[in-house]
Amino acid sequence: MTDTSAQPTADVARRNYLEFLAAMYQAKDTNGELILLPPEDQRLLEFIAVQWFLNKPLSMMQILTSREVLFLGASTISRKVEGLRQRGWIRTVADAADRRIKWLEPTDQAWTYLDRVNTLMPLP
């Protein structure tokens, strides 16, 4: 016999998550444009932001070796990071001790975007 006591909780969690995804895919800015970034850019920005939030910022070298997390090749990661940088989503910051190391840091634009995405999350 299967224990179904956790089933209602799982159903609520699943519904909340699906409502969040639906809201994300439908959210538009003031110009009527979808706010969601392209999937690869979204995943990359989220990965950089989460690592930054956990006080484990990523260097350019570290992100290039994160292929198993990002499901992208090193050249694609490099190109995507540069695109995010050029569009103002991230910045590179030289390490104080070793100027060869470049840390990836979300910009205020990225944090504002992630805050906006967070408002789409349904309340429990």
Express each pLDDT in 37-87 by its tens digit.
888 999 999 999 999 999 999 999 999 999 888 899 999 999 999 999 999
pLDDT of residue 77: 94
Residue with tokens 């989460």: 50
**Taking a C-beta distance cutoff of 8 angstroms, is the pair 61, 77 a contact?**
no
The average confidence (pLDDT) of the chain is: 88
SS (H, E, C) 15-68: HHHHHHHHHHHHCECCCCCECCCCHHHHHHHHHHHHHHHCCCCCEHHHHHCCHH
Confidence of residue 19 (pLDDT cuts 50, 70, 90): confident
In angstroms, rounded to a whole number, what is the distance separating the alpha carbons of residues 74 and 21?
Answer: 28
In angstroms, rounded to a whole number, what is the distance separating the alpha carbons of residues 23 and 80?
Answer: 25
* pLDDT over 80 at 5, yes or no: no
Q: Report the predicted TM-score, pTM, of the whole model to 2 decimal places.
A: 0.81
Domains of the chain listed by start with CATH number = 37-118 (1.10.10.10)
